[in-house]
Structures are given as structure tokens and as C-alpha cells.
Amino acid sequence: MNISEIEQIAKLAIEKIKTSQLCELENLKTQYLGKNGKITQILKSLSQYSVEEKKLIGASANKVKSTIEKEVENRKDFLNEAILEEKLQKEKADPSQVFAFPFQKGSFHPIMQTIQDISTSFKTLGFSVAEGPEIEDDWHNFEALNIPESHPARDTQDTFYLEGFKNLLRTHTSPGQIHVMKKQTPPVKVIVPGRVYRNEASDASHSSTFHQVEGLSVGENITFKSLKETLAEFVRNFFNLELDLRFRPSYFQFTEPSSEVDIQCFFCKGKGCRICKNSGWIETMGCGMVHPNVFKAVNYDCEKYTGFAFGMGVERLTMLKYGIDDIRLFYENDLRFLKQFSV
Ligand code: PHE
């Protein structure tokens, strides 16, 4: 067998080695280049040749030697790469088979749940639900509600004015009454839930952004008695409990007479705690009989119609119902808190 035949056979043998036979490559190398390898033997036998032959045979044997070495290395690299590729293919995750996270159902925020509960309660009492804008002008938020220009609520300390002082973020849902009355003639029976803003520092019971539900009933025979009955019925319905209500005389420009409504503290059952500031009662609503000046602002006949209005704090009612002692929990979006309200 001449050198080039040996080279051909070696090359073929190297080509045939598969990934599962990687260690065979070393054996093959030994067969040709080892101590007793075919090429080694040729090199060892050079002494029997003439100087000219030595040069020729020696050179081609050395060339084949380095070719085989190179071929073995190349094949090794190729096989190692193939092995890696095979492994990657096998271990590749099929995304269609994997759920990255267990499926979790979303849920309404507790404040939204309370607004829905309040709405349901009032719907059963014959009220409809309306919405008003969060950005109001001075007329809707103050003027039409009989709040004079000099009133402290208009102070920038309490009201977030928008650029130019023409518009503002509504400080209560009462402008909702005005929007409804401008669109509708009596009888009116509506609630207006929504977000309101006040420029004040936040603590366990105050927040600069919170929610109210406004209520308005206008007709020919609406009395303070109707107001008390409506609110008592609502509280019974909302808490599913007999809780006492306390009507304290109060003052609002847009109602006369006016009253503040306290509900017995559901958290401490009237004993006194942090939520009720140790009084046993929680102030949850303002209410009263619609002031004639408000009717005048919306062109309602104040000789013919009377009405009651109320505004309740959604956060306060939610805190009372579920025994929550810090209003800030509603806005921190801590899932440990929110998950307790998922339904
Ligand atoms: N708008 C009043 C407030 O924000 C609440 C209120 C509404 C009082 C309707 C009387 C009638 O405090």
C-alpha cells in the first residue's frame, strides 16, 4: 500500500466516525500515527532507502501525518459541535407546553366593589346611576351650589386648580347634581359615584384623592323624613346589619337644613377605636334638603319642588364594612391587601 492509498483510507475512516464513537477517533489516530502506526512505520523504515528516496518518501509521509492529525482534529470539532446541537435540541423548551405563571384571575379594587354595592343598594330604592366629569369649572363645583366666592373651600389650600384658575379638580361629587338637573326635569332620583380631589395631607384617614357617591332626589313631596328613611334603608342593605344612624345638625351651602350622618362604628361596635377616633361613631355622609338657590341655578321651580341630597365617602364606608384602619392601603396596590377582596 503506498502512502497516498494509506492517506485515502485514513480519511475515509475518519469521515465515518459518528458522534456516538468519538473515542474511536483517538484509536484511529494511534493506528496511523502511534508508536506502531502505519505512517510511523514508514518513517522508521526510511534508513533502507537512498538519500533521494528518503527525502521524497519522508516528505510525503510527514505531509500525510499532519493531514491525518488535522483531519482528526477537524472531525473532533465537528462531532463535538453536533453533540452540543443534539443536546440543545433535546433540551429546548416548547413554549406551547409551558405556563410561565399559574393563571390568576383579576378582580375589582375594593373601592370599585363598594361603589358597585352602593349602586346596587340605591337601584333597588329606585335610583339611577349617572357620572360627571372630574375636571369641573367654578360654576358647577361652587357657584351653582350656592358656595360664595369668599368660601374657604375655594382656597387653593383645599382645591386643586388647573392652569389659569378657570378649571379645577372637583372637590366633591355635588356638581354631579347640577349636571343631572340641567339635563332632566323632576322627578329626579339619581346617584353619582366618582373620584374627588382635595389639596390636603394624607394620613390614616385622609387622602388627597378619594371617592364619593352623591345622591339626589327631587320631586313634589320629598321631605327630610324621606331622606332619613332612604339612608336608613341603604345602611341596612349595605352592611346587612342593623346599625344605628345619627343625624347631627350641620351646615352646607347647598342644603338647608343640613345634617352630618354618622354610622355606628362597625369595627369596634361603638366602643371606640382608632377608626372612629374613640367616639364609637363614624362620620360617613353629609346631607340635607336642597337649597332653593341651587334650584334657581338650574331653573327648577322651588315653589313646586323639594329635594334631598347626600354625599357619602366610599373609602370610609369600605373601611367601616371591612375593618380597615388606614385609608392609604387602598392606594398602595399591595397585592397582599388587594387579594383579600378578590371574588
Ligand atoms: N358635598 C359634601 C361634601 O363633600 C357632601 C354633601 C353632599 C352634603 C350633598 C350635603 C348634600 O362634604
- Gap between the Cα atoms of 138 and 322, Å rounded: 36
Bridge pairing between strands 281-290 and 255-264: antiparallel
Model pLDDT, residue 61: 86
Q: What per-residue string of b and e applies to 55-82 under the rule 16 or more CB within 10 Å gives b?
A: eebeeebeebbeebeebbeebbeebeee
Per DSSP bridges, beta strands 245-252 and 255-264 are antiparallel
The preferred substitution site among 140, 147, 195, 252 for testing ligand 1, maximizing ligand atoms within 8 Å of CB, is 252
Task: Give dist(CA 40, CA 45) in Å, integer.
Answer: 9
Task: Find out whether the beta carbon of 288 lies less than 6 Å from any atom of ligand 1.
Answer: yes
Please tell me the distance between residue 155's alpha carbon and the centre of ligand 1 in angstroms. 17
Measured distance CA(230)–CA(43) in Å, rounded? 114
Q: Which of 254, 284, 290, 316 to mutate to test the pocket of ligand 1 (most atoms within 8 A of CB)?
A: 254
Show which of 72, 98, 124 is a domain's final residue: 98
Same-domain check for residues 80 and 116: no
Residue-level pLDDT at 183: 97
Say what the pLDDT of residue 290 is: 98
pLDDT at 99: 67
Q: Give 170-184 pLDDT, tens digit per residue.
A: 999 999 999 999 999
Closest ligand 1 atom number to CA of residue 174: 1
* Cα–Cα dist 320/327, whole Å: 11
What digits encode the pLDDT tens for the residues 46-99?
Answer: 888 888 888 888 888 889 889 988 988 898 899 889 889 988 888 887 777 766
**Ligand 1 midpoint to CA 172 (Å):** 7
Q: How many CB atoms lie within 10 A of CB 287?
A: 24
Please state whether the predicted TM-score (pTM) of the whole model is above 0.85.
Answer: no
Residue 105 belongs to some domain of the structure: no
Predicted pLDDT at 109: 96
In this prediction, residue 220 carries a pLDDT of 97
Write down the pLDDT at residue 134: 98
Question: Of 98, 124, 139, which marks where a domain is finished?
Answer: 98
Radius of gyration of the chain (CA): 44
Segments forming the whole domain that contains residue 125: 110-341
Domain C-terminal end among 77, 98, 119: 98
Spans in the chain with pLDDT lower than 70: 98-100
Contacts of 77 by beta carbon, 8 Å cutoff, 6+ apart: none
We report the CATH number of the domain holding residue 273 as 3.30.930.10
pLDDT confidence of residue 150: 86
